[in-house]
Amino acid sequence: MAIYHKAFIKTPTIISIILYVLTLNLSFKTVTWATTTAGINLTLKKECTTQTCFQNFLDQIENITVLPLDTVTSILTVAFSTLEKILEPSLLSSPTELAFFGNLVLKTSEKLISTLVKPTDTSYSVNFTLAAIEGQVFMLGPNVTLDKIPQLDMTNSSVEIDLIGIANNNNGRSAAVAFMSYTMMENLLKPDFFNTPENMIKTMMSTVISATLPKTTNTKLTKPVNFTLKHIREFDPSGSLSCVYWNISEWTVDGCSVLKTNSSYTVCSCDHLSTFALIMQTSRPPESDPLLELLNLVCVIVGLVFFSLALLTFALCQWSPGVNNVARINICISLLLAHLLFLLTQQFLNLIRPQQVLCAVIAGLLHFLFLSGFVWMFIEAVLLFICVNNLSQISSKKREVLSSGFLCVIGYVVALVVVCVSALVDPKGYGSELCWIKMDKGFIWSFQGPVLVILALNMIIFIKIFTTVNSALKNLNVEVSQMKKNKIMAFKILGQCVVLGCPWILGFFINGSEVLEIIFVILNSQQGTFIFLIYCALNNEVWQQYRKLFRLICCDKQH
């Protein structure tokens, strides 16, 4: 308790606010003690800044056994509105201060509500609803004829307690239960007071409730007490729920358990009475490693630069007739846009994340762009296949047909259809924490599935191409040089296929492995570099064009 003492001394102003307001309200009001003959004044000094002084106030209530309902509610109203004023500017910051005030509020409320208990022969109940607290008291006397006590209900919670059994264990066969629900208590008794070994995000899922057995001598429970708590926040299915009780300075689970739960209610069972709440734990997004983040940023930017260079080369260089760059250009466009969008999204994630719709749209767009990159890769393989098989027959006209808008329709419409179908089947699948596809419930297969299918089809096509090329080379009936070119091209496209497909397959196995994550970051971001390398840097034709271009720029400068 020494630590609370310190906390208290540190915050004399706060205490004086509470006491001052209480004084204002009570000094001109004589609170009468209903059942005894003497009238009792509740008094509080204005300069009450010590724990002893406040303890005095509690002591004064301590000796009061019965108060009228309106007095209790007016004291509670004042106390909670004061508390609200204190909490608003966050005057309280340290955990010890918060816990101290939490305990104070609990103790005062429990004390006050217990003054509502009046001796009865049969049964008697009182309840009140204030903005900050709801309370209900239920009493049983010796002559009660109930065989089941009614459920105690509040707006967002209810309690089941075997009060009849408890009354039977008491002298005079009487017992009382007081049940309270605090709306804003989570600001004091924060869910972070729930100490668990795992570093999880804790969220309060119910109002804080208290149950006590005032003026009951034998408070031993005959049956566990059951609480039905309504979830006051959306329940995250990946989170885990704990029924907890407040023990002086922390939330703990000892003796409490979750009986059953659905998306909007949880039933808790506890073997003792106290202050309870329902806390949800969700895993923290993995700590991002700043070094890995920097590596990622640099890699993605390098990749983007090479994507742009490759794109410029494909678009601007004069290629020899027969070279079909449509697929390559579109792979570059799709992946360049995808990587750019991904980079921007991750950089501005804090701004984008709260806009759920925007986040989902970005996820859908990324899905579309990455997928169309793969579809174009498939088209590229198919074009080469056609080229190899109909080498002598294919006319330049046919090539024109293949390179026209028809390809674009296939390249983009297929991806669009996959995204639309996915969005129709499960619109909530888009928009994860990173504004990408959600990994749970198999939705990721809407991406991994098509990718795997395309990679598998491409492998089949490559095997076909290699066997055709090899048998043709043996035949010697065809233009050997062209066949050799095709073989080299097939190797290049195969390499591209592996480089573009690998990261996503690798993505399946990352699961926290840092080495794999680094490989993923590098492979995934360097797709542009690789494309530039195999199609531009390793291509004599392109180098000649670069030289021309270089000379042009140099000559311009000389002028």
Ligand X SMILES: *[C@@H]1O[C@H](CO)[C@@H](O)[C@H](O)[C@H]1NC(C)=O
- What residues make contact with ligand X under the rule CB under 6 A? 59-60, 63, 134, 155-156, 160-162, 183, 207, 223-226, 228, 230, 232, 247, 254, 259, 262-265, 267, 269, 272, 274
Three-state SS letters, 289-312: CHHHHHHHHHHHHHHHHHHHHHHH
Which of 173/272 has CB closer to ligand X?
Answer: 272
Q: Which is nearer to ligand X, 150 or 442 (CB)?
A: 150
- Of 17 and 153, which has the nearer Cβ to ligand X? 153
Torsion of CA 257, 260, 264, 265, to 10 degrees: -60
| Cβ-based nearer residue to ligand X, 115 or 526 | 115
Select from 424, 409, 303, 407 the least CA-distant residue to 364.
424
Strands 200-204 and 275-283: antiparallel
Rounded least distance, CB 131 to ligand X, Å: 8
**Least distance in angstroms from the C-beta of 430 to ligand X:** 25
Q: How far is the CB of 412 from ligand X (least distance, A)?
A: 42
- With respect to ligand X, which residue has the nearer C-beta, 265 or 491? 265
Residue type, 392: S
117 or 161: whose CB is closer to ligand X? 161
Residue 100 or 412: the one with the smaller Cβ distance to ligand X is 100
CB of 193 to ligand X, least distance (A): 13
- Measured at the alpha carbon of residue 432, what is the angle toward residues 428 and 436, in degrees to the nearest 5? 100
Q: Is 297 exposed, middle or buried (0-12, 13-18, 19+ CB in 10 A)?
A: middle
CB of 429 to ligand X, least distance (A): 22
DSSP-assigned beta bridge partners for residue 138: 125, 177
Comparing CB distances to ligand X, the nearer of 177 and 483 is: 177
Residue 288, judged by CB atoms within 10 A of its CB (0-12, 13-18, 19+), counts as: exposed
- The closest of 332, 315, 328 to 378, measured between CA atoms, is 328
Q: Tell the smallest beta-carbon distance from residue 411 to ligand X (Å).
A: 45
Residue 377 to residue 36: CA distance in whole angstroms: 91
Tell me the closest approach of the beta carbon of residue 163 to ligand X, in angstroms: 9
Q: Cβ of residue 266: shortest distance to ligand X, in angstroms?
A: 8
Q: What are the b/e assignments for 438-469, b being 16+ CB within 10 Å?
A: beeeebbebbbebbbebbeebeebbeebeebb
